[in-house]
Structure 1
Amino acid sequence: MKITRITTSNFLGARAVDIELRKPVALIAGKNGAGKSSVQEAVRMALTGEPVRVSLKKDYGALLSEGADAGFADIMTDQSKYSVVLPGGKGVHCEAAALPYVLDAQRFARMDDNERRTFLFGLMGIKLDSASVTQRMLDKGLDSKKIEQIAPFLRGGFDAAQKEAAAKARDAKAAWKTVTGGETWGKDKAASWQPAAVACTAADAEKALIDIRRVIAADEADIGKLQQEIGAAKSEIARRQSAESRRMELHARAEQIGRIQARLDHDTAELADWEKKVEETRARAGGKPNPKAPGEYLLRGLAAVTDEFVAIANDKYFGQFDEALLNRASTHLAEYKRLHGWPHGSKPAEPDPEAITDLPKHEQARDLMKRAVANAQRDLEAAKAAKAEYDRILAEHGTALPDVAGLEKTLREITQRRDQYREEERQTMDNARIAAGRDKQIADAAKHHADVMALTDIAGALAPDGIPAELLTKALDPINEHLRLSAANAEWEPVQINADMTITYGVRDYALVSESEKWRADAMIAEAVSFLSGLRLLVLDRFDVLDLKGREDLMYWIDGMAADGDIDTTLIFGTLKALPAISFDNIGAHWIEGGAAGQMKEAA
């Protein structure tokens, strides 16, 4: 930025300043209270809008020269005109971020470590956004899932994200301690930690369970089969015992076969006699039908007439009264009588009244014998069945009964073995649970250890000596290299900005050097900022803190940069007794007195 003219009116002590800058470097000198600092502050406020001696806009009126109602500061540059109007504070300002640091050389030294670091990142265009830092962590091979957890905290800066990662790492250590039963986490210890050994592994226990359960299943099947066999055997024994208890009863009934057979023979013979007697009595009874079987005699008489009567005389109709059948038989009999006379050519005898009277009795006696014969036949069949059952029981009596005791012994043995395997199964299941729990404990501990390591690595990457240091190195290398060249050109002690953001001048810390050494360090840092930002503008106040040799070194250094085109404008302010003679081609001198300088002073 090249300043071509500085104009102020009633701005603090700079009541009337109008300086045209014809050379890159302007030395603005005067006695104490002449208004030098006021010009410097006017330039600063016009370019940035930032006041120096007040902080609130309502106090801008205090920046007016005594007795003035209004004032202004105008700065003409090769880019634009910048200004500020008092007491309102309106104006046009430059937005360059590095501008305040080249207008106030001591500003960088006044910042704390974080502010310096942030400023340098911005100066060098180093991205500190969450996405850029996240990508750097990913490029380092850090755990992506853990990075996702920490990334939101990057909005609060490296320090906030680093503290969050460290806190989560502590939580993971606490979780590891809980899982391990109170062990204290250690990097080497946790990497190989395992709980006490157990009887077997979970895989071995599961394999053993398969074999044990196979045996138990087989025993269960055998037990079920044996229980069925024992039940069947007991049922058979009970049946045999029941049959044996009936054997004597069956024997008694079987022994009656002979008597029953004799009775049957007797009753059968007597039945035959009664049937003959009934036939004879019926014959003697003649044509008078039996009232109990009115069609019987007629049917028997007609049996020889035609084949039809043979069918009529079938047992299906015997002893039954069928009027239609009787009518048909009478018709045939009448026809037979007309053609041949009475059957067999003779007239039947007259019915015997006594036979007619005895026939029902004889029939009753015959029927009674029929029932007796049927009963005897039934009793004979029952006795024969009893003998057959008796013979079967007697045949079984000699065969061995089922060995229930042996079956029950086998059942007890298999059941005992089954129960032993069940106990073994329970113990193996316990071992499996213990082994699985141990495996889970190992896995959980390993997970928490991995979390600790991943989060610790992330915390380390976000720590000042991690990614911030890498980025800082990227930012510091160019500025420190420029500072080294500046020190060599000015023939001053080298100034350096360290990774921890401390500033050293020569071999000592900035805070420990003299006022003039601090001024040299501030001047070189401000110039480096000016060069690296591309502003090429530098404002240095109170150069009179330097001794004559220091001032000479300053002039040579500034003049050389102007000659090389490394700087467009440099404003140097200092208290002097008189305007010095300047022999440098690129440096012009301007005297300020009583708040007036340049053309306004000449006009006055």
Structure 2
Amino acid sequence: MEAIKISVTDFRGIEKADIEVTGLALVVGTNAAGKTSVTQAVAAALTGNVTPLRGLRKSEAGSLVRSGAPDGGVVVATADGASQIRWPEARMKTEGTPPQASAVAAGLESVAIMSPEDRAKVLMPYLKADPTKEDLAAALPDIKPEHLGKLWDALEINGWDGAHGQAKDKGVNLKGRWEQATGERYGSKKAANWLPDDWGDELEATSEQTLQDGLAQEREFLEAAITAHAINDDKRREMEEQVARIPEIAIGVTDLDMEQQRIRSRLHVAKEELRQMPYAGPPPIQPCPHCGEGLVIDGGKITLPPKNLPTQAEIDARQAEIAEKQKEVAALEDEHAQAVSLWKAADRELADATRAKSKLEKNPAPEGEYKDVEECRERVCRAEARLKAFLAKREADRIHAAIEANQAVIDVLASGGLRARKLAEAVRSFHAEHLAVLCGEAGWKDVTLDDDLRPTYGGRPYPLLSTSEQYRVRTVLQLAMARLDGSDMVVMDAADILDRHGRNGLMKMLIAIGIPALVGMTIADPDKTPPPDLAAAGRGSTYWIEHGVTEPLHGISEKAA
């Protein structure tokens, strides 16, 4: 294991502390000897928190310098890099890849004493308890893929609580729509069995199209009844005469159509002949602005005037020919317009006669007493009521299904829904893979987290524990989280709160976890309770601290010898 070298100078109660951590380093001394100052300085360098005391502002960092010294500092280094902090500037400098640790691993924070909200916020990344999109899909097996995608997008944008609030708002809106559609107050049991007025059991097995077709037929019957009673004998005879003339009118329409087409062809030929007739006037000659010679400007082109200009007699003759052709075109246009008018009038007459024929076919002359108009109206009203009931039931059922599906989303997104289930699974894994293993190494009672992430020891909640039991809880959680976040070192103080059995368990746990550790411990009377010599036991190194100066315990023993 690579050695981590620590040097602390003139920081709080420390004058000089040089420590090398290879596995486990224990700093021991009497009260107020400077142990806590060492652990705080090292924690600052590992985390980058230049003011490692809670509530201390950076502007007050000068209070961290040992009394009487101009400045102080800490360096934590390995062969790969180093981090250094100087006070009172409270400025950090790093080189290479220095050792690092999370605030929890460095002992600056503990989830055991955090508020429930902060504890959850800190633990969630460690537990990896945030549900995935696949978890959401499994919790909502009936959701469509496109709706799942939109829901997941909402979760990423608004968070679980925000998306949960949106789902609840949607549920309120859907219930309002159901009440608007039915005219009744919503209730899940009521909605599941709701039937509108005019509902009949036969509507269960029908379709909208069938009801639409039935209504259309009843309306046709009503129209036929009205028409049959509306067409008197004179009108019927007039319509029959129109129908009798259909063949004659059709022939006339065809003949008139052919005539207007023949005139249109003649008109087209005359217009083309007029278009191709040569220009009747003299060319447009203008004087050149430079030399004064005449020039012809035509279509943006400039040319010299032709040598043989037409005579006035020739120009008059051409103009007369054009005027004659224009008269011919105008006459043909008038003739064509009249022909088209006659053709369209005949075509309208044919259309009227055809409609009369269709109307007579649909409304034959009444034979005996025809169906009563009012009876037909009543049948139409009944058909409309049945269709309206069918559509109302279908819409109410659709909204109710949407409410039920949305309620499933609400339940899943709630704090006690998928997140709670996922968290419970993650907590069980965290306990089995980390907490239980560490407690087993130490020979301590089980440290667990309940469903609300509250720590317990031996099944008892944290606030009810003794101070030494609380220390064990904090230590186990600290080491488990340090292992998960990849911290290069752990720092802990006040291990003297533990009895001999507890300290032995702590050492075993620290050795087993394999993360370099710096531990501070008070020994009130070193003569009665000699500090453990880790170097002699091959488990690390022990440093004695006195008057703000550290010295390896092994070296002290050798001097004494």
User: What is the TM-score when the length of structure 1 is the normalising length?
Assistant: 0.60
Matched residues in 2 for 1:91 and 1:569: separation? 22
Q: What is the identity, as a one-letter code, of the residue corresponding to 2:29?
A: G
Aligned to 2:42: 43
Is the 1:151–1:161 Cα contact (8 Å) retained in structure 2?
no
User: Is residue 225 of structure 2 the alignment partner of residue 226 of structure 1?
Assistant: no
Q: Give the conservation status (yes or no) of the 8 Å contact 2:47–2:101.
A: no
State the secondary structure of the residue aligned to 1:100: coil
* Match of residue 590 from structure 1: 543
Q: Check 1:14–1:229 CA distance in 2 against 1; reply closer, same or farther (3 A cut).
A: closer
* Corresponding residue number in structure 2 for 1:157: 159
Residue 27 and residue 470 in structure 1: after superposition, are their counterparts in 2 closer, same or farther (change >3 A)?
same
Paired with 2:476 and 2:155, the residues of 1 have a C-alpha distance of 36
Asked if 1 retains the 8 angstrom alpha-carbon contact of 2:13 and 2:33, the reply is yes
Q: For residues 369-393 of structure 1, what are the alpha-carbon distances to aligned partners after superposition, in whole Å with 9 as ceiling and x for unaligned?
A: xxxxxxxxxxxxxxxxxxxxxxxxx
Question: Residues 556 and 47 from structure 1, CA distance in 2 versus in 1: closer, same or farther, beyond 3 angstroms?
Answer: closer
- The 3-state SS of whatever aligns with 1:574 is strand
Once the 2 structures are TM-superposed, how far is the Cα of residue 533 of structure 1 from its aligned partner?
A: 2.8
Residue matched to 2:344:
none
Report the CA distance between 1:554 and its aligned residue: 1.9
2:11: which partner in 1?
A: 11
Change (3 A) 1:477 1:4: same
Shift of 1:9: 1.6
Partner Cα separation in structure 2 for residue 42 and residue 102 of structure 1:
14
2:494 is the alignment partner of 1:567 = no
CA deviation string 1:60-118 (max 9, x = no partner): 22222223332211111354212212122221468999611111275111334444344
AA of the residue aligned to 1:179 = A
* AA of the residue aligned to 1:226: D
Cα 1:460–1:215 shift into 2, 3 Å: closer
| Alpha-carbon distance change, 439 to 491 in structure 1, aligned in 2, over 3 angstroms | same
- 1:119 paired residue number: 122
Taking the aligned partners of 1:539 and 1:508, their CA distance within structure 2 comes to 26
Query: What runs of 5+ residues in structure 2 fail to find an aligned partner?
Result: 240-363, 557-561
Shift of 1:25: 0.8
Shift of residue 162, structure 1, vs aligned partner: 2.2
Does the residue aligned with 1:99 lie in a helix, a strand or coil?
coil
Secondary structure in 1 matching 2:544: strand
State the alpha-carbon separation in 2 of the partners of residues 124 and 460 from structure 1.
22
Alignment partners' CA distance in 2, 1:543 and 1:157: 41
- Candidates 434, 439, 459, aligned match of 2:390: 439
Q: Distance in 2 between matches of 1:88 and 1:415?
A: 115
Alpha-carbon distance in structure 2 between the residues aligned to 1:185 and 1:151? 30
Q: Which residue of 2 aligns with 1:34?
A: 33
CA distance in 1, matches of 2:115, 2:368: 85
- CA shift, 1:231, in A, is 9.4
**CA offset digits 1:131-164 (Å, max 9, x no partner):** x844542344335555425733443432222232
Alignment of 1:251-262 (within 5 A): none
User: Identity across aligned pairs (percent)?
Assistant: 25
Q: Label 1:229 to 1:13 Cα distance change in 2 as closer, same or farther (>3 A).
A: closer
Equivalent residues of 1:84, 1:90 under 8 A apart = yes
Which residue matches 2:262? Answer: none
Distance 2:99 2:4 in 1: 18
Query: How many residue pairs end up in the alignment?
Result: 412
Partner SS, residue 573 of structure 1: strand
Distance 2:17 2:69 in 1: 15
TM-score (norm 2): 0.64
The yes-or-no answer on 1:213 pairing with 2:220 is yes
8 A Cα contact 2:29 2:545, kept in partner: yes
Is 1:180 matched up with 2:182? yes
Q: Deviations over 1:444-496 (max 9, x none)?
A: 32233222222222222223343323543453344211211221221111011
Classify 1:8/1:433 alpha carbon distance in 2 versus 1 (closer, same or farther; 3 Å).
Answer: farther
Hey, what does 2:523 align to over in structure 1?
Answer: 576
CA, structure 1 residues 435+168, in 2 after alignment: closer, same or farther (shift >3 Å)? same
Query: Residue 472 of structure 1 is aligned with which of 412, 423, 428?
Result: 423
By how many angstroms is 1:414 displaced? 8.4
Distance 1:520 1:473, change over 3 A: same
1:513 and 2:514 matched: no
Contact 1:20-1:598 at 8 Å conserved across structures = no
Q: Deviations over 1:496-525 (max 9, x none)?
A: 123321212111112221211111011111
Residues 156 and 207 (structure 1 numbering): CA distance in 2 closer, same or farther, change over 3 Å?
A: closer
Following the alignment from structure 2 to structure 1, what is the Cα–Cα distance between the partners of residues 426 and 73?
38
Q: Which amino acid aligns with 1:65?
A: R
Which shows bigger deviation, 142-151 or 511-520? 142-151
Q: 1: distance between equivalents of 2:545 and 2:169?
A: 60
- CA 1:8–1:545 in 2, change beyond 3 Å: closer, same or farther? same
The one-letter amino acid of 1:8's match is V
What residue identity is the alignment partner of 2:86?
A: V
Q: After superposition, where does 1:486-565 map in structure 2 within 5 Å?
A: 486-535=438-487, 537-559=489-511, 561=512
**Are 2:104 and 1:101 equivalent residues in the alignment?**
yes
1:413, distance to aligned residue in structure 2 (A): 8.6
Contact 1:48 1:95 in 2 (8 A): no
Give, in whole Å, the separation in 1 of the partners of 2:171 and 2:76.
Answer: 55
- The whole-number CA distance in structure 2 between the counterparts of 1:96 and 1:74 is 11
Shift of 1:28: 0.8
Is contact 2:76–2:98 with CA below 8 Å preserved after alignment?
no
Q: 1:557 to 1:219 in 2, by over 3 A?
A: closer
Query: In structure 2, what is the equivalent of residue 87 of structure 1?
Result: 88
Name the CA distance, whole Å, in 2 between partners of 1:151 and 1:113: 28
The secondary structure found in structure 2 opposite 1:101 is coil
Bigger shift: 66-75 or 191-200? 191-200
Contact 2:446 2:457 in 1 (8 A): yes
Shift of 1:24: 0.9
The range that moved more, 165-174 or 4-13, is: 165-174
Contact 1:537 1:567 in 2 (8 A): no
Larger Rg: 1
Q: Is the 8 A contact 1:479 1:532 kept in 2?
A: no
* Runs of 5+ unmatched residues, structure 1: 233-410
Q: Measure how far apart 1:207 and its partner are.
A: 0.9
Give the counterpart letter for 2:381 in structure 1: D
Matched AA of 1:116: R
User: Which one has the bigger helix percentage?
Assistant: 1
Alpha-carbon separation, structure 2, partners of 1:79 and 1:468:
41
* Alpha carbons of structure 1 residues 12 and 194: separation in structure 2 relative to 1, 3 Å: farther
Structure 1 residue 33, shift from structure 2 partner: 1.5
- Runs of 4 or more, structure 1, over 6 Å off, are 93-98, 229-232, 411-416
CA distance in 2, matches of 1:569, 1:430: 88
Alpha carbons of structure 1 residues 96 and 456: separation in structure 2 relative to 1, 3 Å: farther
Letter in 2 for 1:525: L
2: CA distance, partners of 1:95 / 1:428:
91
Give the drift of 1:558. Answer: 2.6
CA distance in structure 2 between the partners assigned to 1:96 and 1:176 by the alignment:
63
8 Å CA contact retained: 1:489, 1:557: yes
Change (3 A) 1:24 1:433: same
Instruction: Write the distance in 2 (CA, Å) between the matches of 1:436 and 1:524.
Output: 70
The alpha-carbon distance between structure 1 residues 461 and 204, as it changes in their structure 2 partners (threshold 3 A), is: closer
CA distance in structure 2 between the aligned counterparts of 1:431 and 1:97, rounded to whole angstroms: 82
Q: C-alpha separation between the residues in 2 aligned to 1:62 and 1:184?
A: 67
Cα displacement string for residues 325-374 of structure 1 (whole angstroms, at most 9, x for unaligned residues):
xxxxxxxxxxxxxxxxxxxxxxxxxxxxxxxxxxxxxxxxxxxxxxxxxx
1:155 is paired with a residue of what secondary structure?
helix
